[in-house]
A and B are shown apart, each in its own frame.
Chain A
């Protein structure tokens, strides 16, 4: 397994370089260093000298990808791309265009993101599986029918509607929890109830329906019939056999998102005033802070690759037939 993981990590390097190049090109197709300087410096009394100074201080006064004035390797290394990208591979994110240490900001802001994402993930997974098993158990009955109708209805509703509706109903009309905000330590619990609840409920429709399909596929297999023929109870059949065998597709979807939990949710964090990495990314995009954008894209890519590797590893845990060798 170690060799497999090393191989996968080595494979990740060209992927990360590719992601970096694409991010760089896309960003600078839309924005020039002059544009970035103007956004950072504000709209009033911005002089060409100030723009030049801003670019020089942050290393944006060099060519983007190829420096014709340098010689040898310098043609490639004395560029904005090289200067801004190479340190990423050592996880040195440097300073944002506003001058703040990005690594410090990421370390600080990932915890609020996790505080929402982790409970949503765990509670959501439990809820969706329970709901899907219920539908599978009552397949082809009115309960299954109405559950499917409810699921389709729920997945048709925009996530934003859940947020605004939840804030209005639970926070405003019923005055049960704060509408938005965040605090540290145990005080954060009262702020997390609503976003976590909304996060779980908004995912019920699509996830329960997806897991139901997985369970129904399993439930018609021969081994299930055999289990029933042995006289096992339906509950035992479902939880002992069907659930275990349905874990591979579930894990495919679930494990890959675990590393992403750090990255936070863009909309949820904005509406609930959660100071996580989701809002950090959005703020950076809005303020054209390339240093933060590229750091977050790079981090996202790394986490995605880790997620895929974790998924592969998890297969071996739930299915003894899967071996890396």
Chain B
């Protein structure tokens, strides 16, 4: 018996009222469904975003929340294999992963094994697949005569047009190599800010000169005038034929190939730049930064970052199939069942704005989001630890058919020492032993257990698992902090840390010469009640050594300013990998990257000549035993010097509903939507089951309110009918 029928039995006289008031319920769509009823049962994936993306222009975008969209829209030459680990580059628009051709200063071809010192240039020749088409877009639309439909818009042509979808005509064309060349030129566009321009200008031949020429030409233009990049040449990047182009970089730069898997190197048609540069577009916020144009599996059809963003299947996308290989265990996990089937599986992906965690979590439990991360607030509701210490879902989650997936992020969190600081820095035994003692005292295992619900792995060095150079087991432990006992690492005792501290000149945490207690300052941006327990915990770790820790909470800007000036002793930072190469982690400790000296990413200002020399060797090598050996030596040097307390590699926990398939965490690829598949029928069935409206409490409240009015009415009537009497008699009441 349904709810409505039951109510009619209980309150038969109110049946008509219920029928009218809750007629929506008769349609079968749950009342609390936040999506239109027309979408019920459709092949749509529902996700969310909490922060509006700042940039969707592939030359400017550089953050994860932006890549969640554009990585599914644009098509760089390369991509990461969805299933294989360690991460492997495979072709996307390209026909193959390019191998660099090496040249010396006289432009003579060198063997691929040539020493980095001999190599003057590396050239990457990239051939793309013919027949790839752009998504339907007004920038590519033509009129009856075959000319661009929206080329020379006149005042008034944009009346009534507020978004890209308001243009009547749309067109497409084939992707060609020169579109990739055009995008690389855009890195140097004077009106765009590309976060990798500075880096790439050091490598891509002619990029710096192009930037200079463009800036000069831009100044000569009237304000807002169109800067046509096609009129400019970029020396190091050439179109070889319709489907082939080459990029020439200075020296040997094996990591360059990873950049080719990022949206910075995705194609942008010159027509798009011309289209968006027309007068009136910017005033309506119609720009490439807001309305992308790509050749990828999806296209952005709704861009309202104040409410929802919608990706829809690009009707022109074809030629890619689900992978047939993965890592061991993928087959058993059902991740290879769709092998060979054309991508993408899902027709539409709806991202809704969800700023707060609580409503997001509740909507996931109601089935209105297909997958969810686990926050600290919701961890206990979702996850429990078994008697063996394993992670499992709670019974409620299991009953709903929810699945848990975990993966170690390609990120590192650390507590850094400023090596320029006279107390904690330096390369003498005094400073080194002090840092090693602190590294032992700060119990990362306890931290992960208390504050991260076990979601992390204590770091033994700067390179996280899954990245070449990471070592497991006994050979992978940090011998200055851990011992290998009973087949697992065990943190050295605090007594040993105290001994090191005494050797550093601070017996019992006091300066041996002055007798003053050692006071260290920790600068952090984490403030507020939530962080207090965490910071108190850190202070207690230092207390184990008798060292006093002063927490200097500061805002983000001041914190960054202090780092740049070197006005910190200890600080927290982290790093997310750009690409899965050890160079992208070890460069954080390269002396040439010193924050104080060069505004680089080495916030500890660590500068060890041996480490730097090995870094220069390592970064020019391809993955090989030789490279592994150099990395081992670098990591050993860094562990010994201890410029960081190697804190942890975070572990991501995600949940997905039973109707979601082929979802595998991939820390490098952001274009995973095309592989996912859903069962909308099962979702609809479970949504209805989980979201049956409970109306008796509302009725009960109404009845209680109605009942409470009765005495008021009685009292009112009594008062209205009362006659005036003398107060002393009391008659008439």
Which residues in A have some Cβ–Cβ distance to B below 8 Å? 30-32, 35, 38-42, 44-50, 53-54, 57, 98-101, 104-105, 108-109, 112, 134, 137-138, 141, 143, 164, 167-169, 171-183, 187, 190-191, 233-234, 270-273, 275, 279-280, 283, 287-288
A40 touches B54 (CB 8 A): yes
Task: List 19 other contacts, CB 8 Å, given A50-B193, A180-B363.
Answer: A35-B557, A38-B560, A40-B54, A42-B195, A49-B198, A53-B193, A101-B284, A141-B715, A143-B715, A164-B358, A167-B362, A172-B365, A174-B694, A176-B695, A179-B32, A179-B363, A181-B34, A183-B36, A270-B355
Min CB gap A112→B, angstroms: 8
Q: Chain B contacts of A105 at CB under 8 A?
A: 285
Residue from the list B34, B195, B283, B352 in contact with A45, Cβ < 8 A = B195
Bound-complex Cα distance A224 to B3 (A): 51
Which residues in B have some Cβ–Cβ distance to A below 8 Å? 30-34, 36, 52, 54, 62-63, 191, 193, 195-199, 282-285, 287, 289, 304, 306-307, 352-356, 358-359, 362-363, 365-366, 555-557, 560-561, 578, 599, 601, 690-695, 697-698, 711-712, 715-716, 719-720
For the complex of A and B, 4 pairs with smallest distance between CB atoms: A275-B306, A35-B557, A178-B34, A181-B34
Bound-complex Cα distance A175 to B363 (A): 11
Bound-complex Cα distance A53 to B358 (A): 40
**With known contacts A42-B195, A100-B285, A179–B366 Cβ distance under 8 A:** yes
A283 touches B52 (CB 8 A): yes
B62 touches A42 (CB 8 A): yes
Bound-complex Cα distance A149 to B358 (A): 31
Min CB gap B84→A, angstroms: 26
B352 touches A273 (CB 8 A): yes
Bound-complex Cα distance A36 to B632 (A): 40
Bound-complex Cα distance A44 to B62 (A): 8
A31 touches B54 (CB 8 A): no
Min CB gap A131→B, angstroms: 12
Bound-complex Cα distance A41 to B711 (A): 65
Bound-complex Cα distance A181 to B62 (A): 28
A180 touches B354 (CB 8 A): yes
- The SS class assigned to the B binding surface is loop
B557 touches A38 (CB 8 A): yes
Residue from the list B199, B356, B362, B716 in contact with A137, Cβ < 8 A = B716
18 of the cross-chain contacts (CB-CB < 8 Å) are: A35-B560, A40-B54, A41-B195, A45-B62, A45-B195, A45-B199, A50-B195, A53-B193, A54-B193, A99-B289, A174-B694, A175-B690, A177-B31, A177-B32, A178-B33, A191-B34, A234-B719, A234-B720
A273 touches B354 (CB 8 A): yes
B198 touches A279 (CB 8 A): no
CB nearest neighbor in B for A48:
B599
Q: Chain A contacts of B353 at CB under 8 A?
A: 273, 275
B196 touches A45 (CB 8 A): yes
CB nearest neighbor in B for A267:
B356
Q: Chain A contacts of B36 at CB under 8 A?
A: 183, 187
Bound-complex Cα distance A50 to B33 (A): 45
**With known contacts A179-B359, A180-B359, A98–B54 Cβ distance under 8 A:** yes
A42 touches B31 (CB 8 A): no
Q: Chain A contacts of B31 at CB under 8 A?
A: 175-177, 190
Q: Chain A contacts of B199 at CB under 8 A?
A: 45
CB nearest neighbor in A for B307:
A275
A44 touches B282 (CB 8 A): no
CB nearest neighbor in A for B191:
A57
A180 touches B34 (CB 8 A): yes
CB nearest neighbor in A for B691:
A175
Bound-complex Cα distance A63 to B33 (A): 53
CB nearest neighbor in A for B708:
A143
Bound-complex Cα distance A118 to B155 (A): 37
Bound-complex Cα distance A177 to B601 (A): 48
**With known contacts A174-B693, A273-B355, A279-B355, A104–B284 Cβ distance under 8 A:** yes
CB nearest neighbor in B for A100:
B285
Bound-complex Cα distance A53 to B211 (A): 13
Residue from the list B363, B690, B698, B715 in contact with A174, Cβ < 8 A = B698
B712 touches A41 (CB 8 A): no
Q: Chain B contacts of A143 at CB under 8 A?
A: 711-712, 715
Q: Chain B contacts of A175 at CB under 8 A?
A: 30-32, 366, 690-694
Q: Chain A contacts of B555 at CB under 8 A?
A: 30
Bound-complex Cα distance A176 to B30 (A): 8
A271 touches B356 (CB 8 A): yes
